[in-house]
Structure 1
Amino acid sequence: MITRTALSHGWTLDLAPGTDSSRVPAHIRDALPIPATVPGTVHTDLLAAGLIVDPYLDLNEITLDWIGRAEWVYSLPLRHSPAPGDRTVLAFDGLDTVASVTVNGTVVARTENMHRRYEMDVTEVLGGGDDILEVRFHSAWAFGEAERKRIGELPNIYPAPFNYLRKMACNFGWDWGPALVTAGIWRAVTLVSGPPSRIARVSPHVTVTGATGRALFEVELAAPAGTALRLDARIGHSHARADIEAGAVSALVEVSVPEPELWWPTGLGDQPLHEASVRLLEGDTLLDEWRERIGFRTVRLDTSADEIGSAFAFLINDAAVPVRGANWIPDDCFLPRVTEQRLRERLVQAVDANINLLRIWGGGVYESDTFYRLCDELGIMVWQDFLFACAAYPEDERLAAEVAAEARDNVQRLLPHPSLVLWNGNNENIWGWFDWDWQQQIGDRTWGLGYYLDLLPEIVATVDPNRPYWAGSPYSGTMDVHPNADEHGLKHIWDVWNELDYRHYRDSAPRFVSEFGWQGPAAYSTIARSIRDRTLTSRSPGTLHHQKANAGNHKLERGLVPHLDVPVDFDDWHFALQLNQAWAIGLGVRHFRSLHPRCFGTIVWQFNDCWPVTSWSAVDGDGRKKLLWYALRDANATALLTVQPRAEGLAVVAVNDRSDSWRIRLTVRRLSFDGRELARFTGRFAADRLATAEIRLPQDVATATDPRSELLVVESDTGERDIWFYAEPRDLDLPTARFDTTIERRGEVVELTVTAHTVLVDLSVFPDRLAPAAEADTSLVTLLPGESTVFRITGLPPHLDEPLVERPQLRTLNELLH
């Protein structure tokens, strides 16, 4: 029987012999070696030993650049005595990045790719009991710079050489992330021992035809079978067998499952997962076993030509599913810190925001099996970029071989997961070729197009033929049409954030918008933890360091001015800019969703953060929800009523992303701010399943007599509501906020009830200012005079109930206008 032993304890970390230690602080040189965590990184080991400051705090990042430029060695005593005839293999699921692996001083592997798994047979180099395993990590900085010198300069959005090696690009810094170039054994290490014939990998190809589900298991052995063997495959009560002849290294076995329950994205059905196993037997003796959960569903990408241009829509189980998505980046700069508990928390936050797809962005990593397993369970569709982002990538033979191996490895690894619905070739590189002045610099050299149009689609077609592939984001489907055309494929909208007001989102009518975003500061308690400036302001040193975007604060404030004055007070500045981020993305999502079926999806940039920073995220680097999260939840409602400006006036659009039809009795009222009704419209209309319906409003309702002091309230008899203001926030004659509050504690939940005496706009509560773990269930609530709402707050100690009703915990837009 094959045994697999995790090598996760007993490691030490030291500077590698011969490395230049002149930049290493003396107190660290003196303290080494230290205990190491595997999986882990050099940074986190040094931090755990108390040898470095937290790189996420203040300006500490700058002082730790030397870590990524040094060379390091991880060491482990191996005590392993294999049985006669057994083979012993070291299996590394992830080495970051340029490494030499030795056993007893003999080099057994050299690696240059963070994104691959490695196996090495060490049977002949083991000494039989007192062996030393060492992994030496060479500087990724030095390797990348040497490769750039060898190959020649190619365009890159940042100066770091991330496009010359296969490492997480954002490790070198991004416009939302720090430059913390890591090294380490970042995924599990396993010692595999037993007979030579073992299961090396199983590739399950799951299909549904009619009422029958099929799983074709492609089984590869680590070595040719020494004798006749048998495969026994099972899914629930269904099973099949296949023989393996002596000398064979692979076999196929197919299991049919009659009428399987289908896997559906969240909101459209259940997510049944089926236990699958493949056993390798010699006679009746079990040699090895593979286990995984699979799901039955079909996926197809509709990119057919139509009267507009060409579509981009996902068909799951033959249903065209509108996408309410967000882009996902690595959830921490130090990847081994992203635990299953943390992933579950973050992914539940996504589902609770009515998100049904996450796009794994191409400057990060191929996400973990745990990430995909949780998405399978939660019904989150996943789109996985291949790891190319914002740069020209050489197709040099050395790098191309790594790209091919990495792609085959990860496409095969992620085969079992029904949540995976798309492989995407790159992020913005084709767009860069067209629009970023690359062509003159590149000339006739390769820049990655061969990966996106030839190598990667060929690998997907061979290894994962039942999933779609797309060459890039954005991409129109052909190099003959601009990659960011409204009428074709995928579009990124960044001119709005960089140059315009967010109302210009309404200028675009894309087929599918896979990136657009607006910045906002992190939650206040996240800022207070990570920035300890003597006086915290929008321009204090720590605040500016935790803003990585070029001219980021200038763009934040430039984007605020059309809607509000820029506050001087930091608390008001923080509230106003979180509000503006929520307004911007709420407007964009509602607009794009109202264009269905022309536009079949939105993927907001971005859902999460990797550290505490001002960014485009909805959930900040400490896992706290920004106001944007609440705006996303509302704008992504599966049954959405939204008022939209059209050429002929205002219209109400019903967006129905549910699996049943939606029949609506509609009431629309034009009101003054004091609650007087000025005009009314009632009507009925219906939106079919996964469809939209639109009704134009009559002129007396759609047009305000005094835009500064009127609003429109749209309500359905099924409880949906939308509010439209006729003027920008800065121009509204909102009254001074007057309201009553009551507080009642029910166990661990505090219920804060607010009853409005005047119109209250974007009423929000920030309990994390009192207790960092406290969180409200809702925010951005608009109340008419006489209306009430209840905020349910968790994580708040009893003695802090009363301060909830005080500024700056309880805020309204009304305050910012007075």
Structure 2
Amino acid sequence: MNKILLFSFLCIQLFINAQFSERNLSSEKWQFKNAKETKWMSATVPGTVHLDLMKNNVIPDPYKDENEKKVQWKENEDWDYQTKFTLSSTELQNENIDLVFLGLDTFSEIYLNGKLLKKTDNIFRKWEIPVKQYVKTGENLLQIKFKSSINVGKELAQKVSFTVPESPRSFVRKAQYQFGWDWGPRLVTAGIWKDVKLEYWNQAKLENIKIEQKKLTSTRADLNIYAEIFVDEEGKYKVAVNGKSQEFILRKGLNTLSIPYQIDNPKLWQPNGWGKQNLYDVKISLQKNSKIIDEKSERIGLRTVELIQEKDAKGKSFYFKVNGKPMYAKGTNWIPGDSFSPRMTREKYQKLIKDCKDANMNMIRVWGGGIYEDDEFYKACDVNGILVWQDFMFAGSFYPADENFQKNVELEVKDQVERLQNHASLALWCGNNEVDEAIVNWGYQKQFKYSKEDSLQVWKDYKKIFHEVIPNAIKKYAVNDKNIYWPSSPSIGWGHKESLTEGDSHYWGVWWGEQPFEIYNEKVPRFASEYGFQGMPTLETTKSMFSGKPDLSLQNGTIKAHEKHSRGWEIIDNYMKRDYVIPADFVKYNYVSQLLQARGMQIAIEAHRRAKPYNMGTLYWQLNDCWPVVSWSSIDYLGNWKALHYQTKRSFENQIILPEEKDEVLNFYVINDELKTFENVSLDFDILKLNGEKKGSGGTAEIKTLESNGILNFDSFSLEEIIGDEDRNELFLHLMLRDEKDNILTESNYFFSKPKDLKLPKPNIQIREISATEIEVSTDVLAKDVYLIGDTHFSDNFFDLLPGTSKRIKLSKPLEKIEIISLWDTMNP
């Protein structure tokens, strides 16, 4: 018995004097209710009120049927959350106890044992409250009372003398997409959307670690490690970096230490396509009296990133130099992966970013109308070599700049910069999405009858937030190598000629302007950070829109409700008429809508890449979806690759042949984005009829060197030389780039006509099973845009299969049955 008491006493003393420790309160039994009611229901933390209402069968799933409109009442209500937790006398002996909320959505009051501790007003901030004096041994009551963001936002809007567009969302520091977008539902949430925890600490704690890369050479990396330490008991402390310690005298309060650290013979972190993503673990520990009292670990990559803007004969360059070399940015735009962010899992983040890597991307833009993503997103980008263009969370509206708003934004920037800056993948901070453009180009001032003073105030507020508050906060809280800042994306609106000669561009002449896809060949910017076209989700995801048996019809109300653009179906039909035969059958229409989207983006991407180095980046809109929807995404809500993602993988290959037809002449460009030179390359092509008959061959007269990170313009051919007397609707080219050993580096097909005009013969497509997860697909004549349908991921899909050839395809899981459609089927009902 005495031994047990002694052991217990020692455990208590160790706990009291131990390193920093924490207790997660998210796992306690939480309850919630409408503030006007008395009945409590079970809640989940992290979560949202919508998810809790669904689990308690109060509202239907808004992703299903036409249920979205049935849940709108929720946004006008106030909601109360609470839990009880028991605190032991041992826990209470800690010198300091902090209550930490990693995310509250959005306007709330926090009570502990009946005491109001804090009012919150920003979904993007961390809230940390010392609570030692408010907790007690035994049961404690924690309550969070949420106010309707709609109602509070309206109250804030009334304080402004003019009408602000998109009001009240721009007054609310909350995920802007929750208010509805042209790809997302209106689901204005409330709740505890990230973890809640108690942090116990004694003597001192590590507040924040910033790692600055001072110098990087092939033999040595010189780092500065800035350790912010909050001290309760001043005196001598040791700080160790990967076991190597230094002694410091720390005063009471916040101390900032600068600790030099060196890595010999460093291995670079390279973007995808350039090499390995080498990462280093840096462990920082805080010690006193030979005991570790707190420690943190960071995983870093050694690399340099510069944004280069230099005047030239055509305007001003805009490109990223990575590790001293110009990098052509290939990638996409990211929106939140769910309208209810707590549902995003580590696995979903990893899969979506791995899908970017597998599609040969090296950059992703986190769009400014969503959220600063979970740590798992940035970790996945670090591991997969995907550089991050990080918008701050402002999008497409006018924003206030009163003193409270300025301070709120500064602290938001502080929290996010300090959380994210050590990631190797982080390349750029951008102030907002399309706020500059909204002010200059969208005509809100005229629509809402602004006075001259009103218009001047809008611009003054804009300059204050995006040219002063945010960049000043970055300088204050970020280390020097992580403070590249760009005020607004785009820098110039797509209706202005300068948008194509400098800065980054959002070109929406296609879709919004309803111009043909071919306009992409003319409207080539220096850096395309946004452009896109809609396509339907896969059949599996389309069926998931229904709570019961799916009614797959374009006239069905559920299908219509899952297209959020007011003219979406009309625009898709108008473009489809230009390039394809519009099928009456729903499955075939779904298939052709995906082909249409992929075709448009292929034309854009390849026009951009042909213009290298004038154009040095192409990020299409958008990678993913937040619910099952007809949208611009290349991967639908359930994670299925649409035709666009398969095409993107081909269009983003490091080596690619890019023909350009102009004035009856076919020009051939070859791009090499890899850091490798290919000697003695040749370009060959076969002239084939769609039925497989060979009509001739051609190719380069001169063997050339394809330089590292370079572009080649090969010989040109007149269409008369290639086509002669043949019908261009019956011909295509099969193009091959060969190295000096006659190996094919890359190959592709070029068609002289739009898909609807091709005189396709009926293919006899056969599938042979190689194994449970591998098949071989073959055809006798050209099978255009072969679509394999089945509940699995195919290693390739929506591909052209040459006459008399076969292709092996891997499956992510076995299937009993695979259906096949090709373009011929849509033209011959």
Question: Which string of whole-angstrom CA distances, capped at 9 and with x for unpartnered residues, describes residues 571-592 of structure 1?
Answer: 2211111110111111111111
- 206-215 or 781-790, which moves further after superposition? 206-215
- Give the TM-score, by structure 1 length: 0.92
The structural deviation recorded for 1:256 is 1.4
Q: 2:678 maps to what in 1? A: 662
Maintained 8 Å contact 2:646/2:796:
yes
Question: Which string of whole-angstrom CA distances, capped at 9 and with x for unpartnered residues, describes residues 427-486 of structure 1?
Answer: 11111222111445342213423222222222222322213111111115xx9x959610
Q: 2:618 maps to what in 1? A: 602
Give the 5 Å matches for 1:280-359. Answer: 280-359=286-365
Distance 1:155 1:111 in 2: 23
| Residue 738 (1) aligns with residue 757 (2) | no
| Residue 516 (1) aligns with residue 525 (2) | no
Q: 2:411 maps to what in 1? A: 405
Change (3 A) 1:647 1:381: farther
Q: 1:505 maps to what in 2? A: 520
Letter in 2 for 1:226: E
Distance 2:266 2:774 in 1: 44
Letter in 2 for 1:145: K
Maintained 8 Å contact 2:157/2:164:
no
Q: 1:149 maps to what in 2? A: 158
Distance 2:722 2:585 in 1: 37
Distance 1:698 1:517 in 2: 31
Question: Which string of whole-angstrom CA distances, capped at 9 and with x for unpartnered residues, describes residues 309-366 of structure 1?
Answer: 1111111111111111100000001111111011111111111111111110000011
The structural deviation recorded for 1:276 is 0.8
> Which of 33, 49, 53 is residue 56 of structure 2 equivalent to?
49
Question: Which string of whole-angstrom CA distances, capped at 9 and with x for unpartnered residues, describes residues 193-246 of structure 1?
Answer: 122521122222234332321332222233455223222222xx7x45251333
The structural deviation recorded for 1:702 is 4.8
Q: 1:777 maps to what in 2? A: 795
| Residue 793 (1) aligns with residue 811 (2) | yes
Maintained 8 Å contact 1:640/1:656:
yes
Letter in 2 for 1:194: W
Distance 1:345 1:207 in 2: 34
Change (3 A) 1:463 1:77: same
Change (3 A) 1:701 1:73: farther
Maintained 8 Å contact 1:649/1:702:
no
> Which of 789, 802, 813 is residue 766 of structure 1 equivalent to?
789
Give the 5 Å matches for 1:592-671. Answer: 592-646=608-662, 649-663=665-679, 664-671=681-688
Distance 1:71 1:206 in 2: 47
Question: Which string of whole-angstrom CA distances, capped at 9 and with x for unpartnered residues, describes residues 777-811 of structure 1?
Answer: 111222332122233333344xx23xx2xxxx311
- 524-533 or 393-402, which moves further after superposition? 524-533
> Which of 726, 730, 736 is residue 715 of structure 1 equivalent to?
736
SS of residue paired to 1:592: helix
The structural deviation recorded for 1:153 is 4.4
Q: 2:366 maps to what in 1? A: 360
| Residue 168 (1) aligns with residue 212 (2) | no
Letter in 2 for 1:450: K
- 264-273 or 675-684, which moves further after superposition? 675-684
> Which of 548, 556, 559 is residue 572 of structure 2 equivalent to?
556
The structural deviation recorded for 1:740 is 4.2
Distance 1:10 1:334 in 2: 21
The structural deviation recorded for 1:566 is 2.2
Maintained 8 Å contact 1:475/1:484:
no
Maintained 8 Å contact 1:484/1:491:
no
Q: 2:599 maps to what in 1? A: 583
Distance 1:14 1:596 in 2: 56
SS of residue paired to 1:359: strand
Maintained 8 Å contact 1:681/1:698:
no
> Which of 702, 716, 726 is residue 697 of structure 1 equivalent to?
716
Distance 2:76 2:362 in 1: 40
SS of residue paired to 1:193: strand
Change (3 A) 1:536 1:631: same
Distance 1:346 1:271 in 2: 18
Maintained 8 Å contact 2:32/2:42:
no
Give the 5 Å matches for 1:187-202. Answer: 187-202=194-209
Maintained 8 Å contact 2:765/2:783:
no
Consecutive unaligned residues of structure 1, counting only runs of 5 or more, are 22-28, 769-773
The structural deviation recorded for 1:76 is 1.7
| Residue 227 (1) aligns with residue 235 (2) | yes
> Which of 252, 256, 259 is residue 247 of structure 1 equivalent to?
252
Distance 2:683 2:420 in 1: 46
Distance 1:701 1:166 in 2: 62
Maintained 8 Å contact 1:277/1:291:
yes
> Which of 75, 78, 98 is residue 82 of structure 2 equivalent to?
75
RMSD: 2.0
Question: Which string of whole-angstrom CA distances, capped at 9 and with x for unpartnered residues, describes residues 390-439 of structure 1?
Answer: 11111122222111110111011112100001101111111122211144
Distance 1:483 1:230 in 2: 59
SS of residue paired to 1:620: coil
Distance 2:551 2:102 in 1: 46
Distance 2:336 2:684 in 1: 44
The structural deviation recorded for 1:487 is 0.4
Distance 1:83 1:124 in 2: 10
Aligned residues: 783
Letter in 1 for 2:373: E
Distance 2:662 2:241 in 1: 58
| Residue 816 (1) aligns with residue 826 (2) | yes
Maintained 8 Å contact 1:205/1:415:
no
The structural deviation recorded for 1:83 is 4.6
The structural deviation recorded for 1:11 is 3.2
Maintained 8 Å contact 1:199/1:220:
yes
Maintained 8 Å contact 1:533/1:542:
no
Change (3 A) 1:628 1:696: same
Distance 2:153 2:231 in 1: 35
Maintained 8 Å contact 2:236/2:247:
no
Distance 1:72 1:701 in 2: 73
- 241-250 or 578-587, which moves further after superposition? 241-250
Maintained 8 Å contact 1:653/1:694:
yes
Q: 1:373 maps to what in 2? A: 379
Maintained 8 Å contact 2:543/2:550:
no
- 170-179 or 459-468, which moves further after superposition? 459-468
| Residue 443 (1) aligns with residue 439 (2) | no
Distance 1:242 1:492 in 2: 52
Maintained 8 Å contact 1:229/1:246:
no
Distance 1:240 1:415 in 2: 24
The structural deviation recorded for 1:655 is 1.1
Distance 2:77 2:246 in 1: 53
Distance 2:275 2:745 in 1: 22
Distance 2:496 2:66 in 1: 41
The structural deviation recorded for 1:691 is 1.6
Q: 1:572 maps to what in 2? A: 588
- Give the TM-score, by structure 2 length: 0.91
Distance 2:97 2:573 in 1: 60
SS of residue paired to 1:495: coil
Distance 2:584 2:780 in 1: 29
The structural deviation recorded for 1:189 is 1.5
Q: 2:13 maps to what in 1? A: none
| Residue 672 (1) aligns with residue 689 (2) | yes
